[in-house]
Amino acid sequence: MKTRMALLLSVAAGVFALIAMALYLGARESELLEQAALQDIVVTTQDILANTALDERVVGTVQIPKKYVQPGAIAQISEVVGRVAAVPLPKGSQVSGTALFEGGREALAFNVPRGMRALSMAVDDVTGVAGLLRPGNFVDIVGIFEYGVPSGAVGTEITYSNERTEAITVAQNVQIIAAGGSLGEQPAAPPGPDGEPEPAPSGPPEISNVTLLLSPQQVQEIVLAQHLGALTLALRSSLDSAIVEIPRLEEGQFLKIPIPVKRKPRPSWREMRGGR
C-alpha cells in the first residue's frame, strides 16, 4: 500500500513538473518572440549636427527587433520632420523624442527650408499693407524704378534724357515667415497686478519690417531692387498661389494718353504719419 502511494505521488510530482516546465517554456517562448518582433523605427541616414532642422532627406525608417528599440524611439517620420536636433546624431542613430525639440521656437533659422534664404525688408504703413501682414501670408513685390540716359551735368548733379518711370512686379507669391520680431507664435500675456492676464493691446502691432522666404537668386534680385528703386508689398489671397504674366507699366500708359504725368513729390514719413 505504501509502495503504491509513493508511486502515485511520484507520478503526480512528475506531471506537475512537466506542466510547470511547459508553462515556463511557453511564457519564455512568448517573451522571446515578442522581443524578436520587428518594429519600425526612425533612424538618421547621415551625420546630423546639433541645432539642425530635420527633413525627409536626413532620416528614414528601418525594422529592428523590439528588444533593441531604445526608450522613447520614434516610429513615424512625420513626427520628426520640422523638429530640430538638440544633440549631434551620428548616422544610423535611432531618433528619440528626448534628442529633439520643436522647430521655430528657438531661432528663425529653423523655419528656413534647405536651399532657401530669409531676407528682411523695411516697410511702412503704405508699403506694408497698413501693418496687417502676418507670418504665413503670401505677397507680391512691386517696384517703382526710374530710367533715363545720362545727357550732361548741372554742377554736381547728372541730368538725364528720355526719363521714364516703370512699375514692375519683381516677385510673386513670396511667403512671409516673420513680421517684425514675430514668428507667428502668440506668447502668453504676462499677469497683471491682480494675477489675471493683461488685456491684449487693441489694433494691429506696429511693424517696421518683414522677413521673406526667397531662393538665393531672388535674394540678389530683391537686394538690387531695394538699392535701385522703391518696393511695395501687395497681399495675396490665401486661396491664390498662381504665378501670372504681368506686363511692365510705364508712366503715361496707365491713363492711356501719350503725355507724361508730372510726378507728385513723395510725402515725408512725418507727413504720412500725420505730423506725429
Amino acid 184: pLDDT: 64
Does 55 have pLDDT greater than 50? Answer: yes
272 or 215, greater pLDDT: 215
pLDDT digits (tens, 9 = 90+) for 208-237: 888 899 999 999 999 988 888 889 888 888
Average pLDDT over residues 141-165: 82
Amino acid 154: pLDDT: 80
Average pLDDT over residues 85-108: 77
pLDDT band at 73 (very low <50, low <70, confident <90, very high): confident
Average pLDDT over residues 110-116: 78
pLDDT digits (tens, 9 = 90+) for 138-149: 999 998 888 887
Amino acid 187: pLDDT: 46
Q: What is the pTM of this model?
A: 0.53
pLDDT > 70 in the chain, percent: 70
- DSSP per residue, the chain: -HHHHHHHHHHHHHHHHHHHHHHHHHHHHHHHHHHHSEEEEEEESS-B-TT-B--TTTEEEEEEEGGGPPTTB---GGGTTT-EESS-B-TTPBPBGGGEE-TTSS-GGGGS-TT-EEEEEE--TTTTGGGT--TT-EEEEEEEEEEEEEEEEETTEEEEEEEEEEEEEEEEEEEEEEETTB-S--PPPPB-TTSSBPPPPSSPPP-SEEEEEE-HHHHHHHHHHHHHSEEEEEEPPTT---------EETTTTTT-SSPPPPPPPPPHHHHTTT-
Does 62 have pLDDT greater than 60? Answer: yes
